[in-house]
Amino acid sequence: MQPGELSGKVFIVTGGNTGIGAAIVQQLAQRGGHVALVSRNRDKGEAAVQAIRAAAPESAVDLVIGDLSTVAAVSDLAATLLERYPRIDVLINNAGVWPMRRVLNADGLESAFMVNHLVPFLLTTLLLQRIKDGGSGRIVNVNAGLYVNGKLDMARTPYGLDFSRIRTYADSKLCNMLFTLELARRLAGTGVTVNAVHPGVIRTALGTTGGPLGWILRQVKRTWDTPEDGAKAPVWLATAPELAQTSGHYFNLLADTAVTATAGDPELARRLWDLSAALAGLSSDPVPMPSLSVTPPA
């Protein structure tokens, strides 16, 4: 690591106030990057910025308040970022949720599908031209190895109609993987790259709940890797010179890893892209209505 080596580059990091996101912001800032830390919670965001500046007084870190819960809020966040940053070199879509129960947002979309897939899809789309303008931008999607257990039903997955704590999370990460590979195909020849990365099994608050199960999980997590460990692979993808031309890949930590047949299905990815554009209000195509043949879980 060389202090100042990323000077002049602008990085956007969602979910940057805690866990892996905060570690990503700190590592980039310590190397001279100008980092926009996107946080929904102002108090937590300000605390994270203060901690980073205390560790690296010369770091350039901005707090950007951004709600990722609805389509309108993500659009507002994108407008704020475009207004504040005439240059964007790297977008790291790190924010993620692992809900314990089925929760729908104001758009009627299940929360894991919204935050883990549709937010990266919409935010990336809205910032893409600014990233392209630099000629060599990068997009990094923080994914999860559990995507391999995911399935996609265009009429049911967005609404969480088959909600299961693990399965729904895996479904959302499969969607994110399909988006990553389809975006890479669409970006071919532009100089902008996009890759997905599993950062490891990391000691964060993601997926933690209350009660006896939550207590057990917190004890287990004590043996997992730290957020600083989890930040290494995303930061590497965002900055390594040897990856300047690498796009459309999935990395399990630092290992370039083949994706499942489902994740690599270009027709499924195209269909999901069209659905996502409709759900995000970016197209006039009709949105498939959910099938209610099975009563949704509470």
169 is catalytic: yes
- Which residues neighbour 289 within 8 Å (Cβ) at sequence distance 6 or greater? 155
Q: Active site residue: 85, 159, 169, 250, which one?
A: 169
> In angstroms, what CA-CA distances link 112 with 66, 87, 165, 180, 252?
17, 30, 10, 17, 21
Q: What is the 3-state secondary structure (H, E, C) of the chain?
A: CCCCCCCCCEEEEECCCCHHHHHHHHHHHHCCCEEEEEECCHHHHHHHHHHHHHHCCCCEEEEEECCCCCHHHHHHHHHHHHHHCCCCCEEEECCCCCCCCCCECCCCCEHHHHHHHHHHHHHHHHHHHHHHHCCCCEEEEECCHHHHHCCCCCCCHHHCCCCCHHHHHHHHHHHHHHHHHHHHHHHCCCCCEEEEEECCCECCCCCCCCHHHHHHHHHHHCCCECHHHHHHHHHHHHHCHHHCCCCCCEEECCEEECCCCCCCCHHHHHHHHHHHHHHCCCCCCCCCCCCCCCCCCC
Of the candidates 48, 133, 55, 157, the one whose C-alpha atom is nearest the C-alpha of residue 94 is 48
Instruction: Please give the positions annotated as active site.
Output: 169
